Amino acid sequence: MTKSSTMHKNYLAAGYAETTVKTLRLLSVSDIAAVRRRVAENPKTPADILTKMAVDKDSQVRIAVGLNSATPHVVLSRLVYDDDPDVRYWLASTSYLPVRILMELTADKNPYVSQRAERTVFLMEAGLSQRTLTIFQFLEQDHSLLVSRLEKLIEHYSSASQHYIFDETVDAFDELGRHFGRQHKLCLDEISNANKLSGELLGKCAADHMQINEKIETLILMHVEGKPDFCRELGQLLELVVKHIEFAEKELFVELRRHVTPQQMNEMNERLNQALLLSTAS
């Protein structure tokens, strides 16, 4: 089994609910950050393992620990004072934290963290009665992040370590999958039967998703098997993503705004902000 294949296998095992505690314990000290992060995200990971992972050298692993609902409160209390503001920021975005922890974060020295914590507390107390982001704003913000991540991966492909490329590839592909899931769950699935909504547009969107997912599957096999031309294929994936984004923003979203009723839009926005508030950052 190649090194890339082993990394891929370990990454998958780290996220399975059926993986044994013994295996999770071994994977929690993997030298691959993406594998450790996956263990930290797994809701079946025992509290003692999460406690040790809360001091992981990689901030993304510590963030995953903080967002795991199985993490003990005493560990969360320590993460509130993590040196990395990104860790504190994600904690400040998490509504299921104890209120006392969120209140500590409202006094954080970093204004982005403190303001985020204040907003989370406000939304909890307000029962989500105030919308803060529309579904289209959210998806468009997602778009820029997706492109940036793929561009960064391509830029560093020839000079970065194999571990780095593996981590970034996994993260980029996972985020694409999560984005399409959010697009469907929070938007398309709710309005697919809207009056006068073009079936052709929805079909084009589904075809784009299928084409991108097929390219991702090809890239995963190429990476696992160590085949050449991976970077070239990655560039083709970026082209597909950019084309889909242009279609979504210039055609699909325009059509949706035109035909979706105000009530439907309000309901979608409410569900979006509830999902953001309750999200564990997937």
In the Cβ-directed half-sphere of 150, how many Cα atoms lie within 13 Å? 25
Confidence of residue 213 (pLDDT cuts 50, 70, 90): very high
Residues in the chain, how many?
Answer: 282
- Least confident interval from 26-35, 141-150, 191-200, 264-273: 191-200
Question: Mean pLDDT, to the nearest integer, of 159-165?
Answer: 80
Listed in sequence order, the DSSP H helices in the chain are 3-15, 21-27, 33-41, 47-53, 59-67, 73-79, 85-92, 99-105, 111-126, 135-156, 162-183, 189-191, 199-224, 230-247, 253-259, 262-278
Place of tokens 């079936």: 199
**Entry pTM:** 0.54
Task: Considering only residues 167 and 262, tell me which one the structure prediction assigns the higher pLDDT.
Answer: 167
- Across the chain, mean pLDDT equals 81
What per-residue confidence (pLDDT) applies to 135?
75
Task: Considering only residues 181 and 53, tell me which one the structure prediction assigns the higher pLDDT.
Answer: 53
What per-residue confidence (pLDDT) applies to 129?
36
Confidence of residue 239 (pLDDT cuts 50, 70, 90): very high
What per-residue confidence (pLDDT) applies to 40?
92
pLDDT above 70 covers a percentage of the chain that reads 79
Domains and CATH numbers, the chain: 1-79 (no CATH), 83-130 (no CATH), 135-278 (1.20.120.520)
Question: Mean pLDDT, to the nearest integer, of 231-240?
Answer: 91
CA distance linking residue 176 with residue 142, whole number of Å: 9
What per-residue confidence (pLDDT) applies to 1?
54
Decide if 221 contacts 134 (C-beta within 8 A). no
In the Cβ-directed half-sphere of 274, how many Cα atoms lie within 13 Å? 11
For residue 53, is pLDDT > 50?
yes
CA distance linking residue 141 with residue 133, whole number of Å: 11
- Least confident interval from 28-42, 43-57, 115-129, 175-189: 115-129
What per-residue confidence (pLDDT) applies to 130?
38
CA distance linking residue 23 with residue 60, whole number of Å: 21
Position 191: which residue type?
I
